[in-house]
């Protein structure tokens, strides 16, 4: 019984390999991939990512949101930390704020 199942599986694998070879999957060369220019959506998301990094670095340099983990966990929470969180969330949502920003979402 195992021999019959193994034989059937190998025959099917040979058939699939032959079908793929006929469709051109056996060629040794990969097709050339041409680089696509960035769209305005790509640029807006990249700019938002850079803005998030800049805000995080500026917050760290200003000493906002200090944290200590030894011997107990203590996190700073005040107006500066709330402002930093708001700025990070706003920067993350910035690419979606443009009137024509679709970012992969089709609208009917």
Q: Quick one: which of 92, 89, 71 has its CA closest to 81?
A: 89
Q: At what angle do helices 40-61 and 79-93 cross, to 10 degrees?
A: 170
Is it the case that residue 95 has pLDDT exceeding 90?
no
Is it the case that residue 54 has pLDDT exceeding 80?
yes
Can you tell me the distance from the alpha carbon of 67 to that of 108, in angstroms, rounded to the nearest whole number?
47
- pLDDT one-digit tens code per residue, 60-81: 898 888 777 888 887 788 889 8
Can you tell me the distance from the alpha carbon of 41 to that of 3, in angstroms, rounded to the nearest whole number?
56
């Amino acid at each position: 019984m195992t021999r019959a199942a193994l034989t059937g599986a190998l025959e099917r694998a040979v058939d699939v390999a032959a079908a793929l070879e006929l469709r051109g999957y056996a060629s040794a060369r990969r097709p050339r991939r041409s680089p696509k220019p960035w769209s305005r959506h790509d640029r807006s998301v990249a700019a938002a990512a850079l803005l998030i990094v800049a805000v995080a670095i500026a917050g760290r340099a200003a000493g906002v949101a200090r944290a200590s983990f030894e011997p107990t966990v203590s996190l700073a929470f005040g107006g500066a930390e709330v402002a930093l969180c708001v700025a990070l969330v706003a920067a993350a949502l910035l690419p979606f704020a443009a009137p024509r920003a679709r970012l992969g979402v089709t609208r009917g």
